[in-house]
C-alpha cells in the first residue's frame, strides 16, 4: 500500500537504507505521482474490499457488487485487476488456513516502527497473528519490476512495526515471522520466513543506525538500483559520478577483459534511462528560465487532429468521395493484448488451446536474475509447455 507521508517510509526504505542522505535531499524535490501509482491505489481498494468481505462478515451480495462496480468505474481500472485481486484473496485465505487456529487478521493497518526509524510508520495490507507466528502480506499491482520477499526492507519494517504495535497483546509469544508479497503481474507470490530474533537484530544493528543517519541528513550518498525511485535521481552528483566513471576506464590492455565487460554492462544498464531523466529535468529547468550550458528549449514537432473529432471528419470525407477502406485499418491483436483485454480466466477458456508458446531467444541478463542459465542441450530435450 502506498505510504502516507512517513518521512522514513517503508516503501522507500530500500533507498534510504542504502543512501541515507537521500531522504533529506528528496525533500527538495516535488513528489511526482505516476498514473501507475493511481492504478495501484485502485487495485488496493478492490483487494481490500474483497478481503474485508471475506474476513469480516460478508456484505449483502447486492451491496458488495455495488461497491465493486463503483471501483471498477474508475478511469484507472483495467480488467486484469479483478483476477489479480482474486489471487491476493485466495492467498490470504490459504495462509489463514495454515494457522493451527483462526488467526487474528488486520487489513490496511497502520504499524509503528518508530523504535527503529524516527517517526516511522507504514500501512500494512494484511497482518495475521496466531500460533506463535506473525504473517505480513503485501499486495503489489505493478508489472514492471518483480519484487522479492527475501530480506525486503519494506516487509521487514512492516513486520517490526507489527511486532511493536501488537507487543502489548502478544508480547514474546511470537517467534517466527513470514513475509509474503503477492504481485500477480510480476512473479506471483514470493514468501520469506525468518525468526523474530533475526528480524530484531536486522532492525537494531542495521536499520536503526542508518535510519538515524537518514533522519539527520548524514551518511554517504551511494548510487545503485534504488536510485530509480529517488526524486533527486536526475540531478544527483553521486549518480552522475557512477555513470561518468565509465569514461575513466583504464586504457590498457587494448581489448577489454570479460571481467571489465561484465562490470561496464552492470554500470551501463540504466545509463539510457538516466540520460532520459537528465533530459527531462534539464528541459523542465530551461522552461523555468534557467540556462543549461550548451542546450536550449525549442518548440517540438506539432501534430494535427480533426477539428470536430474523428466521426464528423470521416463522415464528410466519405461524402467527398474518400473510400471508407482508406479511413480505417484493421490489425490483428497480439496474444498478450487479447489476454489483457479478456482477463486471464476468460482468455484461458476461449483461447488457450490456440496458443503455441515458443522458447525465447537467448538474452543477456544480470547474474541476480532468477532464471536458470541458458542451456541449449537441455532445451532440445524439453517439450515446449506454457
Ligand atoms: S539518486 Fe541515488 S545516490 Fe542520489 S540521492 Fe538518490 S538514492 Fe542517493
Closest-CA residue, ligand 1 atom 2, reads 227
- pLDDT given at position 338: 94
- pTM (2 decimals)? 0.76
Looking at the DSSP bridge assignments, the partners of residue 128 are: 105, 135
Q: Which CATH number fits domain 10-216: 3.40.190, 1.10.10, 3.60.90, 3.90.320?
A: 3.90.320
Give the DSSP per-residue string, 10-63.
GGGHHHHHHSTTHHHHHTTS-----HHHHHHHHHHHHHHHHHHHHHS-PPPHHH
Cα distance between residue 347 and residue 42, in whole Å = 23
Q: How far apart are CA 346 and CA 80, in angstroms?
A: 11
Structural domain boundaries of the chain? 10-216, 234-287, 332-364+371-386
Smallest Cα–Cα separation from 196: which of 175, 165, 167?
175
Query: What does DSSP assign to residue 181?
Result: E
Does the pLDDT at position 61 exceed 90?
no
Q: Nearest residue CA, atom 5 of ligand 1?
A: 22
Only one residue has cell 516503501, namely 11
Residue of the CA atom closest to atom 1 of ligand 1: 233
Measure 25 CA to ligand 1 centroid, in angstroms: 8
Strand order in the sheet with 176-183: 104-112, 121-130, 133-139, 176-183, 188-195
Q: Are 198 and 157 in contact (CB under 8 A)?
A: no
SS3 385: coil
Q: What is the pLDDT of residue 369?
A: 82
Measured in angstroms, how far is the CA atom of residue 338 from the centroid of ligand 1? Answer: 39
- The tens digit of pLDDT for each residue in 336-364 reads 999 988 988 899 999 989 999 888 888 98
Q: Is the pLDDT of residue 30 over 80?
A: no
Q: Give Cβ neighbours of residue 262 (< 8 Å, ≥ 6 apart).
A: none
The x, y and z cell numbers of residue 98, run together, are: 495454515
Cα separation, 154 vs 6, whole angstroms:
13
Residues whose beta carbon lies within 6 Å of some atom of ligand 1:
15, 19, 22, 25, 221-223, 226-227, 230, 232-233, 236, 238-239
Strongest mean pLDDT among 205-214, 227-236, 374-383: 205-214
- Here the cell at position 314 is 470521416
Nearest-CA residue for ligand 1 atom 3 is 223
Give, using CA atoms, the residue closest to atom 7 of ligand 1.
227
Least Cα distance to 53 among 43, 63, 44 occurs for: 63
Which range among 107-121, 130-144, 247-261, 266-280 shows the weakest confidence by mean pLDDT? 247-261
Please check the confidence at residue 80 and state whether its pLDDT lies above 90: no
Q: How far is the CA of 245 from the centre of ligand 1 (A)?
A: 16
User: What pLDDT is stored for residue 248 in this prediction?
Assistant: 67
Residue 385 — pLDDT band, cuts 50, 70, 90? very low
At residue 241 the predicted structure's pLDDT band, cuts being 50, 70 and 90, is confident
Give the nearest ligand 1 atom to 222 CA.
Answer: 3
- The pLDDT value given to residue 3: 46
Amino acid at each position: 500500500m502506498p505510504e502516507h507521508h512517513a518521512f522514513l517510509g517503508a516503501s522507500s526504505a530500500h533507498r534510504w537504507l542504502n543512501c541515507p542522505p537521500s531522504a533529506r535531499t528528496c525533500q527538495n524535490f516535488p513528489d511526482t505521482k505516476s498514473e501507475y501509482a493511481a492504478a495501484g491505489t485502485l487495485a488496493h481498494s478492490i483487494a481490500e474490499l474483497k478481503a474485508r468481505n471475506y474476513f469480516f462478515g460478508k456484505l449483502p451480495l447486492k451491496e458488495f457488487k455495488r461497491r465493486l462496480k463503483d471501483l471498477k468505474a474508475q478511469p484507472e481500472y483495467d480488467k486484469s485487476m479483478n483476477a489479480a485481486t482474486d489471487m491476493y484473496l485466495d492467498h490470504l485465505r490459504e495462509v489463514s488456513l495454515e494457522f493451527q487456529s483462526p488467526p487474528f487478521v488486520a487489513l490496511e493497518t497502520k504499524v509503528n516502527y518508530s523504535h527503529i526509524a524516527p517517526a516511522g510508520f507504514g500501512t500494512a495490507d494484511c497482518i495475521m497473528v496466531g500460533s506463535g507466528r506473525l504473517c505480513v502480506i503485501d499486495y503489489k499491482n505493478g508489472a514492471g519490476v518483480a519484487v522479492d520477499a527475501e530480506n525486503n526492507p519494506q516487509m521487514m519494517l512492516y513486520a517490526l512495526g507489527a511486532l511493536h504495535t501488537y507487543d502489548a497483546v502478544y508480547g514474546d509469544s511470537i517467534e517466527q515471522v513470514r513475509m509474503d508479497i503477492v504481485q500477480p503481474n510480476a512473479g506471483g507470490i514470493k514468501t520469506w520466513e525468518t525468526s523474530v530474533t533475526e528480524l530484531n537484530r536486522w532492525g537494531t544493528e542495521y536499520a536503526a543506525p542508518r535510519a538515524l543517519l537518514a533522519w539527520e541528513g548524514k551518511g554517504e550518498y551511494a548510487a545503485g538500483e534504488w536510485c530509480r525511485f529517488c526524486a533527486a535521481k536526475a540531478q544527483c552528483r553521486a549518480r552522475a559520478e557512477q555513470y561518468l566513471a565509465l569514461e575513466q576506464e583504464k586504457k590498457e590492455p587494448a581489448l577489454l577483459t570479460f571481467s571489465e565487460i561484465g562490470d561496464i554492462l552492470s554500470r551501463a544498464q540504466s545509463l539510457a534511462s538516466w540520460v532520459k531523466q537528465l533530459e527531462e529535468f534539464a528541459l523542465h529547468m530551461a522552461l523555468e528560465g534557467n540556462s543549461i550550458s550548451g542546450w536550449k528549449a525549442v518548440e517540438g514537432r506539432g501534430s494535427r487532429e480533426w477539428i470536430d473529432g474523428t466521426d464528423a471528419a470521416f463522415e464528410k470525407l466519405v461524402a467527398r468521395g474518400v473510400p471508407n477502406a482508406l479511413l480505417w485499418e484493421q490489425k490483428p491483436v497480439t496474444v498478450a493484448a487479447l489476454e489483457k483485454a479478456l482477463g486471464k480466466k476468460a482468455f484461458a477458456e476461449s483461447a488457450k488451446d490456440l496458443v503455441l508458446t515458443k522458447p525465447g531467444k537467448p538474452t543477456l541478463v544480470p547474474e541476480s536474475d532468477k532464471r536458470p542459465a541458458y542451456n541449449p542441450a537441455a532445451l532440445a530435450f524439453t517439450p515446449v509447455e506454457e
